[in-house]
Amino acid sequence: MATTPLMEDVTVDGSVDYKSRPAHRSSSGGWRSASFIIVAVGQGGHKPCVQAFGADQFNALDPKESGAKRSFFNWWYFSFSAGINLSLIVVVYIQENLNWVLGFGIPCIVMLAALLVFLLGSRTYRYSIKGNEQNPFIRIGRVIVRAARNWRSAPLGLAAEEETYMCDQSSEQFKFLNKALLAPDSIMEGQEKCRVGDVNETKALLRLIPIWATSLAYAIVFSQTTTFFTKQGVTMDRTIFTGFKIPAASLQTFIGFAIILFIPIYDRIFVPLARSLTGNPSGITMLQRIGTGMIVSALSMAIAALVEKKRLNGMVDEPNATIPMSIWWLVPQYVLCGVADVFTIVGLQEFFYDQVPEGLRSVGLSLYLSVIGVGNFLSSFLVSVIDKATVLNLLGIRTFEGQAQSLSPYFELDWTGPKLAIQIAGLVRLAVKFAGDCSEEWWLRRKNKAQFEKEKVKQMSRRHGCNTIEPDARALEWMEHRRPRSSWEESKAGGEDLELAKSV
């Protein structure tokens, strides 16, 4: 039968428009899908900035506010998950049963209301006044360029600079960047000399690279909840009661419910108990929290593999059949993924916010989001490789493409998940050692930062032959860069650094 131009214009996958009519290529897709790209750009723009701005409202130097700040990331993710669950239950129902325009219109109205509420609080927020501070990217770039130009230089002056400024243990890492402290050469004559704080900022960012890289494997496991787990549910019995079948994608609500249930338990029960044992105000360290979530995610993927093995029994030759196996078999793996998110996702948010220089807080949270984004791409690549390896199996017997949904790519991927999570837990341990976050001196600075700085000022003043109680200019410069504070705190405290130094 010959096809007419009108029939050729109809999409072959059975897509429909907002009125449930067959979708035509000439009136859908292409540039008309740009609105979804705009939504993605908007998400990437406001997510890290709003979260960093919210955390900046707490004064880390105040004990009470510091405790509230540690809970901020927990309750932020609690609210985030509650909103997602509400959308999956209410908005998806409206889109499927009432109207897609209304389904997209409701989130738009809610977002406008949220913006209005946010703007109403403008007079009550704390803001960081940057003043004449240079862009942090320019400062970091200048350190890297200056260190590269001085790569082959090893004058005696560098040893003196390191002894004076870089007296803490972190300076032993990335020592090549210390060459940025040297005076500009003839080519760069007239340019400002790199400050110690700029070098420390650059080192702080470089120390995050191992943690970022090792977190990618968790992101691969994390992405399976929206792809692999959903495909598992499609072939299972999804009947909840007579006449009603739960959509396979709606099973993701169990992750949200697990997060909503477990975050209060973690924040109000687990943290106080752990604090009484460890003495750490957060109960456990951020990296211990991330590692715990990875272990839980490995357990979740192992359970998913066992469920998949049961699902495959006797059904390998019927890819389109509904397997007589209840959808409730998938609930444990979803719940464990939610628990893992409370540990790892929130831990990554707090870690990347805490470890970056003050001027790069939103960039730090963008690093967390980039972990999830890159992990999704790696997951797609992994699924593609395993799917092809299954279709062309190791025995050299070519199976049908249609069997892939009921055969073994999912089973293989499920066992790949726990392997990745276990391996990444070991890599995180190595990354922790590399980053130096578990050093004794680091903990001393965290527990009693002011006292630590007083001792350093004393030590550096004596080193330069200053026997009076007033430290020299080099010690004050070191102290200035070792006490990063927001500008609103500096304007409130005035000359607090100088008074602290004189009181030694």
Per residue in 8-41, pLDDT (tens digit) is 454 545 555 555 566 665 555 566 667 777 887 8
Q: Which H, E and C letters describe 237-278, residue by residue?
A: ECEEECCEECCHHHHHHHHHHHHHHHHHHHHHHHHHHHHHHH
Tell me the pLDDT tens digit for each residue of 75-108: 999 999 999 888 888 887 787 778 788 888 898 8
Q: With bands split at pLDDT 50, 70 and 90, how would you rate the model's confidence at 490?
A: very low
Residue bearing the bigger pLDDT, 465 or 383: 383
CB of 418 closer than 8 Å to CB of 305 = yes
Find tokens 């993710």 and name the residue. 77
Residue ranges of the domains in the chain?
138-206, 209-441, 449-488+495-502
- Name the percent of the chain lying above pLDDT 70: 61
Q: How far is CA 17 from CA 10, 23, 29, 76, in A?
A: 11, 5, 11, 36
Q: With bands split at pLDDT 50, 70 and 90, how would you rate the model's confidence at 478?
A: very low
Find tokens 């299972």 and name the residue. 236
SS3 443: helix
Q: Per-residue pLDDT averaged across 201-215, rounded?
A: 85
Q: Does residue 456 register a pLDDT over 60? A: no
> What CATH number should be reported for the domain whose range is 209-441?
1.20.1250.20
Tell me the pLDDT tens digit for each residue of 135-188: 778 888 888 888 888 776 655 555 555 555 554 544 567 777 777 777 665 555
Q: Which two tokens stand for residue 127?
A: 């803001």
Residue 362: CB atoms within 10 A of its CB come to 18
Q: Which H, E and C letters describe 347-413, residue by residue?
A: HHHHHHHHHCCHHHHHHHHHHHHHHHHHHHHHHHHHHHHHHHHHHECCCCCECCHHHHHCCCHHHHH
Q: With bands split at pLDDT 50, 70 and 90, how would you rate the model's confidence at 133?
A: low
Residue 397: what pLDDT? Answer: 40
Mean confidence (pLDDT) of the chain: 71
Q: Does residue 67 register a pLDDT over 70? A: yes
- pTM greater than 0.85: no
Q: Which two tokens stand for residue 197?
A: 């704080």
Q: Give dist(CA 238, CA 96) in Å, integer.
A: 17
Residue 319: what pLDDT? Answer: 53
Residue 426: what pLDDT? Answer: 53
CB of 411 closer than 8 Å to CB of 313 = no
Q: Give dist(CA 242, CA 240) in Å, integer.
A: 7
Q: With bands split at pLDDT 50, 70 and 90, how would you rate the model's confidence at 49?
A: confident
Q: Give dist(CA 500, CA 450) in Å, integer.
A: 9
Q: Give dist(CA 59, CA 486) in Å, integer.
A: 9
Residue 404: what pLDDT? Answer: 41
Residue 398: what pLDDT? Answer: 42
Lowest mean pLDDT among 72-81, 133-142, 282-291, 433-442: 433-442
Q: Give dist(CA 497, CA 453) in Å, integer.
A: 10
- What do you get for the CA distance between the two ends of the chain, in Å? 94
CB of 75 closer than 8 Å to CB of 263 = yes
Residue 136: CB atoms within 10 A of its CB come to 19
Q: How far is CA 338 from CA 285, 297, 352, 426, in A?
A: 20, 9, 21, 22
CB of 68 closer than 8 Å to CB of 282 = no
Report for 123-137, 171-185, 314-328, 404-418: range of highest mean pLDDT: 123-137
Tell me the pLDDT tens digit for each residue of 242-286: 777 777 777 888 899 999 999 999 999 999 999 999 888 888 988
Q: With bands split at pLDDT 50, 70 and 90, how would you rate the model's confidence at 427?
A: low
Residue 78: what pLDDT? Answer: 93
Task: Write the burial class of residue 78 (CB in 10 Å: 0-12 exposed, 13-18 middle, 19+ buried).
Answer: buried
State the DSSP code for 90. Answer: I
Q: With bands split at pLDDT 50, 70 and 90, how would you rate the model's confidence at 316?
A: low
Q: Which two tokens stand for residue 184?
A: 């500009």
Q: Give dist(CA 420, CA 426) in Å, integer.
A: 10
